[in-house]
Amino acid sequence: MKRLKLHGFNNLTKTLSFNIYDICYAATPSQVKEYIEYIDDAYNAERLTQILTDVANIIGANILNIAHQDYDPQGASVTMLISEEPVAAQQLSNTEAPGPLPDAVVAHLDKSHITVHTYPESHPENSISTFRVDIDVSTCGRISPLKALNYLIHSFESDIVIMDYRVRGFTRDVGGKKHYIDHKINSIQNYLARDTKNRYQMMDVNVYQENIFHTKMILKEFDLDGYLFGMEVDDMPPRQQREISERIKREMMEIFYGRNIQKGMRLM
């Protein structure tokens, strides 16, 4: 897309929101309690603050203010107000291409904010526990928060990722004409690294005329050992392995498609 010559500041607001889910099977009430305590401690407000601080440093942003809170019985939230550090205009990029990975990420944001909220929970009957992380990155100006996408996905390795990207408002060129988007995009997938695309099955639901883009991701490969808490596959008979696998897959598919699946329906 041809670079626009703007009248004043770029007033477009670009917001990337995504939900990351981790699924776990904990068979007994004590194992469920241990899992919730483990995940709640691993991602408490202090840890999340450090993660967002690292993200802000990596993308080259100034931290203006931080608010954080742990909740009872579980969960935590962090909100960080950030601003862009001085950077030459030619270094900024909002082209439709994958952003860098954690070991090489360099991005810059205008006045913006990053928020993260965690939601550990467990099913009362089928021994399935889930851990959800909600992250929002919102920017004003030329740069797109999609450039931070790869870093964040690799920082929270997860079973399911549901992402939304929206451009709101308008900016004017020097002739006074309004522009409702300032970069080319037809899918969030175009900003994902190849290894991420290879690992996940993905589905898009986009509303191009409204500049709304939605992508869902779910892991392609299923390894039961990776979902068990406090137990191992080798300690289970084959029938129990199949039953637990079906429960976990059902939970994952229901989250991925956003609807409950009837029992007896064939799963992936």
pLDDT of residue 106: 37
pLDDT of residue 7: 46
18 burial type by CB count under 10 A (0-12 exposed, 13-18 middle, 19+ buried): buried
- Tell me the whole-structure pTM to 2 decimals: 0.81
- The residues annotated as belonging to the active site are 112, 117, 140
Among 59, 241, 215, residue whose Cα is nearest residue 151: 59
The pLDDT tens digits along the chain (268 residues) read 455 454 455 678 888 998 999 999 999 999 999 999 998 998 899 989 988 887 777 666 778 899 999 998 899 999 998 876 544 334 445 565 665 554 443 344 456 889 999 999 888 888 999 999 999 988 776 666 777 788 788 877 689 999 999 998 888 888 888 888 888 899 999 999 999 999 999 999 999 999 999 999 999 999 999 999 989 999 999 999 999 999 999 999 999 999 988 776 665 5
pLDDT of residue 111: 60
Angle at 32 between CA 157 and CA 225, to 5 degrees: 50
Domains of the chain in start order, with CATH, are 13-231 (3.60.90.10)
